[in-house]
């Protein structure tokens, strides 16, 4: 139910489709109130034009067209919805069973599905319906469902195959959960959007098939449906008689119902399919509230990127995960800011949310991310396309996988530049060579295919692409973690050299605090979705204030001096689905003050220039009550 509301809230298309279907349902349910006439009575006089007496005129047999439209809505909707439901049920069961059980079961189900897919739909429908002709509306429903389930089975199967290999399903299988539970409790909820979209596309198929069958005279012509109305209008030569209303009314309604189902189908896909969300560049920005206060950039210089009160996370079947909680962070022009914190604390979510790259089920719940004066979260897809790559770019841990293995590297480096208007081949070539020199790859590799390059080289290519348009900001989320240590160092030194040369700002995310201390101007430490301390790198290294930062610092070896044993931080961070009234580190903190730290949230207070910490050991200031999205 919540999912359906979310889709309606987020997709104007789905809302429009739902409203159209609802209006038609109301017409069907309240038909007796909306017309005094019977749909089958032939007493009203033939060929009467639309008017006061008969809103949509009458038929050749003297039936009222408006009454037929209203009562016909009942059967047409019944056929669409029931055939859609039955076909979806068959398609989902066949698709899921094939993917889950594999082996023989999958082979047999595949053959059956493929047979139904290759059989031409309409002739099959006509043959089967000719056999059951006159057997009533349910036989039409069953015939349509029987001929229309196979496409859905295909789609569900491929989604289920992908899900079956996901860690949580594998874990459930290994732990001995029953197949029924795994399918219904683990896999189905993850496919709800796809199944719903499949239902609406089958319902659309059902409505159109019924209209087609009826029009050809293969339906149950004794029942009033919008399809049989068309059949009778055609059979009685409505157009020859100039009785356009008899054709237009049911024809238009069939088209509108078809449109409504198609809109619902597309709307669901739009919200639940990450690929679509990604391609329009639309981080789902839910209801966002901006706060009045806006702290100045810590460095005193105007910030290039100013993240304010950012709240973001994920909608899961168990509820909302708030992975980024009311975060504020500024990056000055040319500054190298490191973001550190243990795994799962929300670093990537922050980077993706701030750059409008968070895919569904992720969403921004509140706050802003202002880059050079414009809030990225407010931009349209088109505006976003214009600033991405040019004003900011991103490099991720697995970015090298964005390279298409069968297209030469050169063309892929050109792509981003061409998308932003650089078309002169000589200029593109010169720039590509320069970029390759910058990131330390021989120019001759421009004519290689990605599969001919090592992982480190591919990652350098991606960094070159990210730098191609000399953006003001590059966000790097563990860009070198997949590479070996030596290559990592080399690439990082090159990134730093490029930054200094071009004056770009970098937000660099990693677990590796020692690396950040070496590279960054400033470091922000994140814990359980919150930035709990930030300071110039040297200050943070020499004098960390938050107990969590201190623990982190003591967990990595000193940059010089004798080797000694390091201790980890006992305990685990709190789950991000929970709301925490106090400090998120309370449970693990050696200096915790029960009754204070677990009851109130410490405000982030500036202790020395640029050094901010949120901890009651350093200030009694309580954070202003967060009005982040609930
Ligand atoms: N698609 C998702 N659906 C639900 N929860 C998610 C999803 N992706 C991430 N999360 C949760 O959001 C939280 C923050 O994840 P995020 O990847 O931002 O952390 P991180 O600090 O970057 O971790 P890492 O260093 O391991 O990449 C984690 O608790 C994670 O379980």
| Domain end among 437, 470, 503 | 470
DSSP, res 240: T
What is the crossing angle of helices 409-419 and 425-438, to 10°? 110
| Domain end among 253, 272, 291 | 272
- pLDDT > 70 in the chain, percent: 87
Residue 281's pLDDT is what?
40
Q: How many CB atoms lie within 10 A of CB 448?
A: 16
pTM: 0.59
Q: Whose CA is nearest to atom 16 of ligand 1?
A: 346
From 284, 346, 577, the mutation candidate for ligand 1 (largest count of ligand atoms within 8 A of CB) is: 346
Q: Is residue 459 part of a domain?
A: yes
The answer to whether the CB of 544 falls within 8 A of the CB of 534 is no
Same domain, 268 and 404: no
Q: Is residue 373 part of a domain?
A: no
Decide the pairing of beta strands 473-477 and 605-608.
Answer: unpaired
Report the run of H or E that residue 324 belongs to, with start and end.
strand 319-331
Residue 421's pLDDT is what?
80
| Gap from CA of 223 to ligand 1 centroid (Å) | 56
**How many residues can be counted in the chain?**
630
What DSSP string runs through 368-381?
Answer: EEEETTEEGGG--H
Lowest mean pLDDT among 209-213, 233-237, 265-269: 265-269
From 320, 321, 475, the mutation candidate for ligand 1 (largest count of ligand atoms within 8 A of CB) is: 321
What pLDDT, in 10s, does the model give residues 426-469?
A: 999 999 998 888 888 899 999 998 888 888 888 889 888 888 88
Q: Whose CA is nearest to atom 14 of ligand 1?
A: 346
Q: Strand ranges (DSSP E) for 514-557? A: 522-527, 530-536
**Would the CB of 349 count as within 6 Å of ligand 1?**
yes
Residue 103's pLDDT is what?
85
What pLDDT, in 10s, does the model give residues 314-365?
A: 887 777 889 999 999 999 999 999 999 988 899 999 999 999 888 777 889 8
Q: Is residue 509 part of a domain?
A: no
**Would the CB of 316 count as within 6 Å of ligand 1?**
yes
Q: Is residue 294 part of a domain?
A: no
| Gap from CA of 322 to ligand 1 centroid (Å) | 10
Q: Which atom of ligand 1 is nearest to the CA of 575?
A: 29
Task: Name the one residue in this structure whose structure tokens are 């910490």.
Answer: 613
Burial of 215 (0-12, 13-18, 19+ CB in 10 A): buried
CATH code for the domain in which residue 184 is found:
1.10.3720.10
Q: Is residue 418 part of a domain?
A: yes
Band the pLDDT of 272: cuts 50, 70, 90: low
| Domain end among 245, 272, 299 | 272
DSSP, res 523: E
CA distance 446 to 464: 11
Q: Is residue 479 part of a domain?
A: no
Q: Is the ipTM of this complex over 0.90?
A: yes
Both structure tokens of 475? 């966000």
Same domain, 15 and 158: yes
Decide the pairing of beta strands 305-316 and 319-331.
Answer: antiparallel
What pLDDT, in 10s, does the model give residues 294-315?
A: 444 444 567 899 999 999 998 8
| Gap from CA of 346 to ligand 1 centroid (Å) | 6
Number of domains in the chain: 2
Same domain, 263 and 411: no
Q: Is residue 580 part of a domain?
A: no
Q: Is residue 496 part of a domain?
A: no
Both structure tokens of 168? 């949580």
Mean pLDDT, rounded, for 135-145:
80
Q: Specify the 3-state DSSP secondary structure of 80.
A: helix
Q: Specify the 3-state DSSP secondary structure of 366.
A: strand
Domain that holds residue 463: 399-470
Backbone angles phi and psi of 526, in degrees to 5 = -110, 140
Residue-wise burial string across 519-550, b where 16 or more C-beta atoms lie within 10 A, e elsewhere? bbbbbbbbbbbbbbbbbbbebbbeebbbbbbb
What pLDDT, in 10s, does the model give residues 27-40?
A: 999 999 999 999 98
Q: What is the mean pLDDT of the chain?
A: 83
Same domain, 13 and 159: yes
């Amino acid at each position: 139910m919540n999912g359906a509301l979310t889709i309606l809230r987020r997709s104007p298309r789905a809302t429009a489709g739902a409203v159209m279907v609802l209006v038609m349902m109301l017409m069907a349910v309240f038909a007796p109130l909306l017309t005094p006439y019977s749909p089958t009575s032939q007493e009203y006089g033939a060929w009467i034009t639309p008017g006061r007496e008969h809103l949509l005129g009458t038929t050749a047999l003297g039936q009222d067209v408006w009454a037929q439209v209203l009562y016909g809505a009942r059967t047409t909707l019944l056929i669409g919805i029931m055939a859609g439901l039955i076909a979806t049920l068959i398609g989902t069961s066949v698709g899921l069973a094939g993917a889950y059980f594999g082996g023989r079961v999958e082979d047999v189900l595949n053959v059956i599905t493929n047979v139904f897919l290759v059989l031409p739909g309409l002739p099959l429908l006509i043959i089967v319906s000719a056999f059951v002709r006159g057997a009533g509306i349910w036989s039409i429903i069953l015939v349509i469902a029987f001929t229309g389930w196979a496409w859905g089975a295909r789609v569900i199967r491929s989604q289920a195959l992908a899900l079956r290999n996901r860690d949580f399903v594998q874990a459930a299988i290994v732990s001995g959960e029953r197949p029924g539970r795994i399918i219904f409790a683990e896999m189905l909820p993850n496919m709800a959007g796809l199944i719903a979209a499949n239902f609406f596309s089958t319902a659309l198929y059902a409505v159109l098939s019924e209209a087609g069958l009826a029009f050809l005279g293969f339906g149950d012509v004794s029942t009033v449906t919008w399809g049989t109305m068309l059949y009778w209008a055609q059979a009685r030569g409505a157009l020859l008689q100039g009785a356009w209303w008899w054709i237009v009314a049911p024809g238009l309604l069939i088209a509108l119902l078809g449109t409504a189902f198609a809109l619902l189908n597309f709307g669901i896909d739009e919200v639940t399919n990450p690929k679509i969300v990604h391609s329009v560049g639309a981080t789902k920005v839910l209801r966002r509230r901006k706060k009045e206060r806006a702290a100045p950039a810590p460095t005193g210089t105007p910030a290039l990127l100013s993240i304010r009160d950012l709240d973001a996370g994920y909608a899961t079947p168990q509820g909302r995960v708030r992975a980024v909680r009311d975060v504020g962070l500024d990056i000055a022009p040319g500054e190298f800011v490191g973001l550190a914190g243990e795994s799962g604390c929300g670093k990537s979510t922050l980077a993706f949310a701030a750059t409008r790259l968070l895919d569904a089920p992720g969403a921004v719940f509140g706050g802003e991310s202002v880059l050079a004066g414009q809030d990225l979260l407010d931009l349209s897809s088109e505006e976003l396309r214009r600033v991405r790559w040019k004003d900011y770019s991103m490099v991720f841990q697995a970015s090298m996988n964005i390279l298409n293995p069968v297209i030469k590297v050169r063309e892929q480096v050109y792509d981003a530049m061409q998308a932003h208007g650089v078309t002169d081949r000589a200029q593109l070539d010169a720039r590509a060579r320069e970029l390759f020199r910058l990131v330390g790859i021989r120019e001759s590799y421009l004519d290689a295919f990605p599969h001919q390059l090592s992982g480190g080289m591919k990652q350098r290519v991606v960094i070159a692409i990210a730098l191609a348009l000399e953006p003001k900001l590059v966000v790097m989320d563990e860009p070198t973690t997949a590479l070996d240590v030596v290559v990592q160092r080399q690439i990082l030194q090159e990134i730093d050299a490029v930054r200094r040369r071009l004056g770009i700002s970098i937000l660099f995310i990693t677990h590796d605090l020692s690396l950040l201390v070496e590279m960054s101007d400033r470091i922000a430490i994140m814990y359980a979705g919150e930035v709990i301390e930030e300071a110039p790198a040297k200050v943070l290294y020499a004098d960390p204030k938050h107990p969590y930062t201190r623990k982190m610092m003591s967990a990595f070896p000193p940059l010089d001096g004798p080797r000694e044993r390091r201790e980890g931080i006992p305990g685990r961070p709190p789950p991000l689905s929970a709301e925490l009234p106090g400090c998120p580190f309370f449970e693990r903190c050696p200096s915790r003050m029960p009754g204070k730290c677990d009851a109130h949230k410490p405000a982030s207070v500036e202790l020395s220039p640029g050094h901010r910490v949120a901890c009651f050991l350093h200030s009694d200031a309580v954070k202003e009550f967060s009005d982040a999205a609930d």
